[in-house]
Structure 1
């Protein structure tokens, strides 16, 4: 039996809540470019995850909810949009032909995240995962070109798929409103104490930049 949209969203939130206690603040340098999936996301707004919530926490939920929307759109496309479905099938077959696919099979918390850290000009990478993936992609033949008529028809079907995705997204956001309290309670229990501890540690390091236990010059 197909699960209702309400059930799918509830289960996604449940899975995120089970993961959240394992979250820890990142200690590496943050990325300059914002995450396209999370920045300004109405899904996160509906769930009550504001800009003050760390991105890793946001991403784990937004990815799980996006999967629900993507699945609904995929079903709609398979039933109603034959040209778009054929194009997607060809692209999927092309992707399967690649010998290296590092972005596939990731946990929701890492799906859609950059494959490599920000480059450091002082210590350039010998290679990157994204670069290796591009090399593997270059060995796979391109898809056959479309006629102008086929392109026009495909654009129309893509528009219909986008409209359906927007409709499902609005429904999902309305459902998420009912989960705000437990989402925010979990943030208060698992996330905010870690952020407060980091700020306290930073404050102590700024107030006491030198270890008072170190001997003064001339001693010893």
Structure 2
């Protein structure tokens, strides 16, 4: 039996809540580019995860909810949009022909994030994961061209799929409103103490930039 949208959203939130206790603040250098999936996301607004919540925490939930919407749209497309489904099937077959697919099979916390770190000035990479994937992807034959009529029909079906995705997205946001209390309670329990500890450590390091143990005493 097909699960209802309410059940799928609830299960996605449950999975995020099980993962959240394992979250730790990132200690590496932050990225310059913003995450397009999370920036201004109505899903995160509905969940009550504002800009004061670390991006890693946001991304873990937004990606899981995106999967729910994607599955709903995929089912709608398979049942109602034959031209778009055929195009997606061809693209899927082309993707399977690629020998290197580093962006597939990632955990939700990493799905959609850049494959490579931000480059440092004066220290170029010898190679990048995304570059390797692009090089190998160029050897896979391109999809056959479409006629003008087929392109127009395909654009119409893409528009219908977008409209359906927006409708499902609005419904998902309405469902998420009922989960805000437990989402915010989990952030209070697992995230805020770690942020407070980081701020406390930063305050101590600013107040005492030098470790007094580094000095044996005054030098005459």
TM-score, normalization: structure 2? 0.98
**Hey, what does 1:6 align to over in structure 2?**
6
Local SS of the residue matching 2:101: coil
**Hey, what does 2:16 align to over in structure 1?**
16
Name the CA distance, whole Å, in 2 between partners of 1:107 and 1:183. 20
CA RMSD of aligned residues (A): 1.0
**Hey, what does 2:165 align to over in structure 1?**
165
Instruction: List 4+ stretches of structure 1 deviating above 6 A.
Output: none
Local SS of the residue matching 2:212: coil
The Cα of 1:136 is off from its aligned counterpart by 1.1
Give CA-to-partner distance per residue, 1:143-196, whole Å, 9 cap, x none: 111111111111000000000000000000000000000000000000000000
Name the CA distance, whole Å, in 2 between partners of 1:65 and 1:192. 23
Count of aligned residue pairs for this structure pair: 219
Name the CA distance, whole Å, in 1 between partners of 2:95 and 2:193. 42
Give CA-to-partner distance per residue, 1:68-118, whole Å, 9 cap, x none: 000000000001101100000000000000010000001100100110110
**Hey, what does 1:64 align to over in structure 2?**
64
- The runs of 5 or more residues in structure 1 that have no matched partner are none
The Cα of 1:217 is off from its aligned counterpart by 5.8
**Hey, what does 1:30 align to over in structure 2?**
30
**Hey, what does 1:87 align to over in structure 2?**
87
TM-score, normalization: structure 1? 0.98
**Hey, what does 1:218 align to over in structure 2?**
219
Give CA-to-partner distance per residue, 1:11-52, whole Å, 9 cap, x none: 000000000000000011111111011000000000000011
